[in-house]
Structure 1
């Protein structure tokens, strides 16, 4: 049977010094941000805020100095992420580039790609999106049909990507495409390309959701030329690289802190009220948050050590998004149990926003069904 590798992680002293520094920065930067705006956190894009964060050295902070990084330990980046999310900072513009696109380019990209993008990412000036899902594939990445045909000096891409996060603000997309149709299995013949979203033949459109917001979009490619040096890794090795990339996407604190603003508002609104219903609810939420944080830290430490905790990352993402979606419902039930009389309009506003927004939490980074299929396969059920 599969042996799960999760162990407690303790914060070193220097990380807590960094935490205080980040909190002071956020106190200065976010004085005018409303609670509902804070609830949007890593879904909210503010390019100017990303640039200010880059000026602090807090984007790409674990990367080599030659590419603009600080060569700091992975735990330092975790602390910064945790504080940004807890404060509800608008980090969506640079989030994907910092979390997965930059590390992927470092590990597998050409020197031309490293030179072109990594320093710009650390400055909060170059933003990425990820092209995985497609109109007829959904979360089944093995079913993608967007193709890249070999031509002199590069590739020509045709097809479409759907439900792409941050498509309106991104400058570049890392797209998973078919480069070999003679594949033996569904997972063979895939490659990853860096595609300039301003290139001729690229059309992108945002998708308005049920709250009139535009977090997602679609991108169409019509004979888009991509130079050879924008191929990531080797042609045909895309599936292996994507699995590694998804471990980065699924293991961070954003997988259990997307609803955190509501927890903060619940506590603030009921301080000193001696309300047994709310006290019990806050105790339950705190215990769940603590466990999820320890699990996430453990997986993140494994990723930092160049291990491949794919299954643990899937577990954290499944449990984390389940918690994120349950939190607004639990708060709503607690308020109704108190005769529907909440304390504070900010609490109500944040709760109502997250009740509508939270269904997407289990779609980003792989649906719950996909994650549970991965887990089932690893423990021998499939």
Structure 2
């Protein structure tokens, strides 16, 4: 069986100084946020807040300065993401672009694509959505049926549907994973990625999908003879599978995989502070140890990314364990505190608990279902 190791990261003086700066900034910017609003951090869409992060130099942190970046370390970027999530900041307007779309453009994009888009992402002025999942295919990305066909003038005609497209109704761009040759039986072969302008491309229809709370984060995106320019291709035609796997390593590795329900942990500890219950102390101790372990593993992935490696399997493990941690948290909270979940309640724990309970089912879907991830992990470890 193959063994995986996660590097241990020591926090530098520069990173500690940055952490203090970010905490002071967030204390000012989030001063009026309720506990429930902080719990919505993952889905909190606020372009103005994202612009303020960009003004601080905290987006596109690792990118070259010629593309609007700041040439800082992957771990310094990790510090900013960790602090914003732990504080419950609204990150949805920038996190997809900053986390995975920007790095994909940096790695595979043309010079024109990079110069046109990357500085806008780094400024917090450009929002991306992900065009991967499709109806009836779940996390089996190789089953993609969305097709882009070359036209006589070099353009691409796209037909198909993408599903669970977070903030597709707000996004400026999508990176679309689709088939440019062959059939679904070819699986990974014949797939490519295309850069889609969501604001000015005719033939795109975005339909809302309401979540359990009746809120509009998800979408179904239909392409009906949508015409994209010939230079919309991202990277090499036919290399979409390897490119999307690299992109998913960024998506699955960050602290958002175990901090998106952090507000519930915060409220639970607040309510139980001073309790003489052995069950409460045992449960909080176990949760804290799991959180510390997940954090160490996630920081290890940041170290591997800093070294230029592709930690896709390391990231898949963090994502799977993080989803389990977050989905267990509401049940543990209910076992320790007699509180009725209610998003309308003035009691912070009751409101945050209700929100997290309804959000939790999605935790093992986003970024790849548990079954798909465990298949990837098993193959890497030589177990299948």
- In the TM superposition, what is the alpha-carbon distance from 1:14 to its structure 2 partner? 0.9
Q: 2:331 aligns with which of 322, 329, 332?
A: 329
1:244-300 deviation line (CA, Å, top 9, x unaligned): 000100000000111111111122223334443322222111101000000011012
Per the alignment, residue 298 of structure 2 pairs with 296
- In the TM superposition, what is the alpha-carbon distance from 1:7 to its structure 2 partner? 2.8
The residue correspondences of 1:10-25 to structure 2 (distance < 5 A) are: 10-25=10-25
Task: Give the whole-Å Cα distance in 2 for the aligned partners of 1:282 and 1:182.
Answer: 51
1:110-168 deviation line (CA, Å, top 9, x unaligned): 11111221011011111000100111322110111000001223211111101111212
| 1:134 partner SS | coil
Is contact 2:207–2:219 with CA below 8 Å preserved after alignment? yes
Per the alignment, residue 242 of structure 1 pairs with 244
When structure 1 is superposed on structure 2, of 267-276 and 77-86 the one drifting more is 267-276
Is contact 2:134–2:162 with CA below 8 Å preserved after alignment? yes
| 1:7 partner SS | coil
Matched, 1:159 2:160: yes
When structure 1 is superposed on structure 2, of 21-30 and 349-358 the one drifting more is 349-358
Per the alignment, residue 218 of structure 2 pairs with 216
Is contact 1:183–1:189 with CA below 8 Å preserved after alignment? no
Per the alignment, residue 171 of structure 1 pairs with 172
- In the TM superposition, what is the alpha-carbon distance from 1:182 to its structure 2 partner? 6.0
- For structure 2, the residue ranges without an aligned partner over 5 or more in a row are 341-345
1:306-330 deviation line (CA, Å, top 9, x unaligned): 1011111111100011001111111
Per the alignment, residue 381 of structure 1 pairs with 383
| 2:170 partner SS | coil
When structure 1 is superposed on structure 2, of 234-243 and 146-155 the one drifting more is 146-155
1:54-111 deviation line (CA, Å, top 9, x unaligned): 1111111111101111100111000000000000000101110000000000000111
Is contact 1:68–1:122 with CA below 8 Å preserved after alignment? yes
When structure 1 is superposed on structure 2, of 257-266 and 76-85 the one drifting more is 257-266
Is contact 1:192–1:232 with CA below 8 Å preserved after alignment? yes
- In the TM superposition, what is the alpha-carbon distance from 1:184 to its structure 2 partner? 7.6
Task: Give the whole-Å Cα distance in 1 for the aligned partners of 2:360 and 2:11.
Answer: 30
Per the alignment, residue 288 of structure 2 pairs with 286
Per the alignment, residue 7 of structure 1 pairs with 7
| 2:196 partner SS | strand
Matched, 1:257 2:264: no
Q: TM-score, normalised by structure 2?
A: 0.95
The residue correspondences of 1:86-97 to structure 2 (distance < 5 A) are: 86-97=86-97
Cα RMSD of the aligned pairs, angstroms, is 1.7
Residues 184 and 367 of structure 1: CA distance in aligned 2, closer, same or farther (over 3 Å) = closer
- In the TM superposition, what is the alpha-carbon distance from 1:177 to its structure 2 partner? 0.7
| 2:45 partner SS | coil
Is contact 2:148–2:157 with CA below 8 Å preserved after alignment? yes
Count residues with an aligned counterpart: 378
Per the alignment, residue 316 of structure 1 pairs with 318
Per the alignment, residue 105 of structure 2 pairs with 105
- For structure 1, the residue ranges without an aligned partner over 5 or more in a row are none
The residue correspondences of 1:340-351 to structure 2 (distance < 5 A) are: 345-351=347-353
The residue correspondences of 1:263-274 to structure 2 (distance < 5 A) are: 263-274=265-276
Residues 184 and 280 of structure 1: CA distance in aligned 2, closer, same or farther (over 3 Å) = closer
Q: TM-score, normalised by structure 1?
A: 0.95
When structure 1 is superposed on structure 2, of 36-45 and 91-100 the one drifting more is 36-45
- In the TM superposition, what is the alpha-carbon distance from 1:183 to its structure 2 partner? 8.1
Task: Give the whole-Å Cα distance in 2 for the aligned partners of 1:28 and 1:309.
Answer: 35
